[in-house]
Structure 1
Amino acid sequence: MTAAPTPLRPAAEPLSRGRRALALFALALGGFGIGSSEFVSMGLLPQIADSLLPEMMASRPEQGLAQAGWAITAYALGVVIGAPALSLLAVRMSRTRIILLLAIILAVSTALSALMPSFGLTLAARFLAGLPHGAYLGVAALIAGTLLGPGSQGKGAALAMSGLTVATLAGVPLLTALGQVHGWRVSFLVIAALFTLTALLLRLTVPAQAAPQGRRILDELRAFRRVQLWVVMLIASIGFAGSFAVYSYIADIGRQVAGLSAGHIPWLLAAAGLGATLGNVLGGIAADRSLMLTLLIGFPVYIAGMAAMMFTVTDPVGLTLTFALVNGAHSALSPAMQTWLMQISGRSEMLGAALHHGAFNISNALGALLGGAVIAAGLGLAAPTVVGTALATAGFAMLLVTSALLRLRARRRLAQLRAAQIQLASPEGAAVTG
């Protein structure tokens, strides 16, 4: 028999409103650093390529850009491996201790990303920086949900993601502009400093939580026996890859296809960040009201934005608007997908929360890989919009099939329950029970 998840230990005095607000801010600040670290690579990809792959960029710039995209893929693969692995290893640790440790690892690994002298070592550092990503956001969502009160799983997931989406609105554009002027390494050093501040604030503000009793790695692994868990992760991995196929190369798409200057790229990223921030807020509220309805409405909007981008990618205004719409719809879907995984995982909710970010970054790696593949194949910088639309549509198709199967199973269970009730109410059933 396993113990239920341990709630936050009550403080000697009730948690003040100010301390609760600071604790929530600290959780979100870590998400802000994570979002900045993940997405600034995309805004500064041309600078990273020029710095670490100068010979290839001089002779074969499209291949050089595609190879530089492996920095994005390496980070994403780190998240995919680290999200479940660190969640399992930390199963017997208190959430407050886990999240503090993860914030420290994020600070050190991001600093290493800025300091490595070669492309190969930078890839290794980006992989290490990705390892704590999913576990941090998963634990942050659980702590935030507890601080916000019962029935706030969706809002907790949204708050943990709010730092990430605000990063796309403000942090990534500003850090991209900073990197364009002073070098991409400076941007990563600033992000490392943000993680250091996060660790300090978490230590001072998040209420202490006792380590769970009676939980084992084996207990957590039972969640992987649920087929639905793998299906939901596949939907997220395929569907969300659509936006990353474009986002990974948006700096060069904006400059070479839409005709934007380098100085306008931060504004393009800010527009996407505004869409993502609004989408995250709406998605968190909607997920707590109707998880499945949020997904069934959000995915068509997401696909429509991707499809529209195929026809507006050469127009600066059209690209900006559709890019913002795509990122807004993507972010609106995220809290619902994370909440769904947490519900499926049952008592292994920390693992479920982290697995969402693992799936999210499988989509990041897959999108960057497929987007780079069509660019390297000579199909042009607009080709990732076609790939993105196809991936988003595939994800929605899988969601529709899954939703139909779940409804069918629910109807069968209801029919079985009614049959059992009729059997008990019949004279023969009454006689048997008598």
Structure 2
Amino acid sequence: MPLPLYLLALAVFAMGTSEFMLAGLVPDIAADLDVTVGTAGTLTSAFAIGMIVGAPLVAASARNWPGRSSLLGFVVVFSAAHAVGATTTTFPVLFVTRIVAALANAGFLAVALTTAAALVSPDRKGRALAVLLSGTTVATIAGVPAGSVLGTLLGWRATFWAVAALCLPAALGVLLGMPARRATDGTGARPALRAELAQLTSGRLVLVMLLGALVNAATFAGFTFLAPVVTDTAGLDELWIPVALVLFGAGSFAGVTLAGRVSDRRPRRVIAIGGPLALAGWPALAVLADRPVALLTLAFVQGALSFALGSTLITRILYEAAGAPTMAGSYATAALNVGAAVGPLVAGATLGTAAGNLGPLWASALLVLVALSIALPLRGALSTGTPA
């Protein structure tokens, strides 16, 4: 894989740390800013909403910008938003900084996804995206748990400062290692924006975007509220929260790595096998959450299944949107973050029910069930290989 892919992954690591770190910080933020845990959980949704809106808008605005300059600008804005968030004393300001950071992340990821796909041959998109997304999975293994420990020892603000600082080497990597070329449609020409937007009328593209949204909603529904399950349901100390996050992240890395090897040629097999297993895993996690060993084991398993499914669907979105070289990444980004916005909202609504802290895990199961109910009857639309 080309070196620029790994430089992009470094930036994705910094941004992924921010996107996922709230899973271990929600209770502390709620206490510090005098809001409920459910309200603090909406910070994840705020980030996702910024990603949803920002991905197509920022990608469209940046179509004529040099790729390296736009990627660098997005990283700088992202860092600045975290510095402001670390100093605020009010929840509304923190909420706004999450949206600004999300807009920058959306623009970066939209450009990075299409750049990654363009750096390799058309039949290796899945592997290229596995390298890029490894930045996110390593964030869940190392960055997010480290942020959780840092937040436990020094407060959640220290974690925000750490993310701001982490963006600096990522920005340097983008500046020194990324090519400045722009995306084309494979013939050397760049299609008009209208032609790229017309790709959204494709039924197959809409299908994989919907499935990606549902799978990511399930992932974020359970992951965002994992901390209370660890401490309250399983009865473990707060320092076990990073352990659970490390295991989820290790599973996600394994899932992305495996899917990267097979998603180009056998996407239906990943979905047909991984989907039902994920559907069984979330209820199992809810039922066995009071048993620490089972909880930690299933955190790994669900991380692997969730990210194997999610990364496979990202690959399919890029295949189906091959005629939109500058916008395809934004379609994938927006679809996944629709899920990231909806998941915590659905999960948060279950916290006040009889299910309590386990409600989000049951919500994850329901969302996977909806995805499979759509995917399995229409599995013929999930074509293999590159589209003609």
Distance change (3 Å), C-alpha of 1:210 and 1:236: closer
Select 2:369's aligned residue among 393, 401, 420.
393
CA shift at 1:329, angstroms?
0.8
Query: 2:107 corresponds to which letter in structure 1?
Result: A
Separation (CA, whole Å) in 2 of partners of 1:341 and 1:149: 17
* Aligned mate of 1:238, from 214, 229, 234: 214
Contact 2:85 2:94 in 1 (8 A): yes
1:138 Cα offset (Å): 3.4
Task: Note if 1:142 corresponds to 2:114.
Answer: yes
The separation in 2 between residues aligned to 1:392 and 1:194, in whole angstroms, is 34
Q: Match for residue 131 of structure 1?
A: 103
Q: Structure 1 stretches of 5 or more lacking a match?
A: 1-16, 57-63, 408-434
1:82 and 1:364 mapped to 2: Cα distance? 14
Letter in 1 for 2:357: L
Q: Provide the C-alpha distance between the structure 2 equivalents of 1:406 and 1:217, rounded to a whole number of angstroms.
A: 26
Work out whether residues 267 and 382 of structure 2, in 8 Å CA contact, stay in contact via their aligned partners in 1.
Answer: no
Query: 1:104 deviation in Å?
Result: 1.9
Q: Percent identity?
A: 29
Distance change >3 Å, CA 234–CA 223, structure 1 → 2: same
The superposition leaves residues 336-378 of structure 1 with CA deviations (integer Å, 9 ceiling, x where unpaired) of 2112111221221342222222222221221111111110345
* Residue 294 of structure 2: aligned partner: 318
Does the C-alpha gap of structure 1 residues 148 and 376 become closer, same or farther in structure 2, counting only changes over 3 Å? same
Residue 92 to residue 216, structure 1, CA distance change in 2 (3 Å): farther
User: Any stretches of 5+ residues in structure 2 without a counterpart?
Assistant: 384-388
Tell me the residue number matched to 1:289: 265
Aligned pair partner of 1:334 in 310, 316, 319 = 310
Give 1:387 shift. Answer: 1.4
Letter in 2 for 1:32: F
Do structure 1's residue 75 and structure 2's residue 47 form an aligned pair?
A: yes
Aligned to 2:93: 121
Correspondence 1:153 to 2:125: yes
CA-to-aligned-CA distance 1:181-229 (integer Å, 9 cap, x gap): 1111111111111112211111111123157665432222112222322
Alignment partner of 1:95 is 2:71: no
**1:187 paired to 2:155:** no
C-alpha contact (below 8 Å) 2:114/2:328 kept by paired residues: no
Q: Where in structure 2 are the equivalents of 1:13-412 lying within 5 Å?
A: 20-21=2-3, 23-53=4-34, 56=35, 64-210=36-182, 214-377=190-353, 379-404=355-380
1:333 Cα deviation from its structure 2 partner: 1.6
- In 2, the alpha carbon distance for the partners of 1:79 and 1:199 equals 20
Query: Which secondary structure does the structure 2 equivalent of 1:37 belong to?
Result: helix
How high is the TM-score relative to the length of structure 2?
0.92
Letter of the structure 1 residue corresponding to residue 149 of structure 2: A
Offset of residue 70 of structure 1? 1.2
Over residues 24-43 of structure 1, what are the superposed CA-to-partner deviations in whole Å (9 max), with x where a residue is unaligned?
33211111111100111111
How many residues are matched? 379
Indicate the SS of the match to 2:336.
helix
TM-score (norm 1): 0.83
Which deviates further from its counterpart, 302-311 or 32-41? Answer: 302-311
Between the aligned partners of 1:78 and 1:228, the Cα distance in structure 2 is 25
Of residues 243-252 and 267-276 in structure 1, the stretch that sits farther from structure 2 once superposed is 243-252
Task: State the alpha-carbon separation in 2 of the partners of residues 183 and 169 from structure 1.
Answer: 20
Counterpart AA for 1:34: M
How far the C-alpha of 1:85 sits from its partner, in A, is 1.3
Task: Give 1:134 deviation, angstroms.
Answer: 3.3
How far residue 46 of structure 1 moved from its aligned partner, in angstroms, is 0.7
Q: Deviations over 1:287-344 (max 9, x none)?
A: 1232222222221222222132122111111111112111111111222211211122
What SS class does the counterpart of residue 259 from structure 1 fall into?
coil
Shift of 1:98: 2.5
What is the Cα deviation at residue 230 of structure 1?
2.1
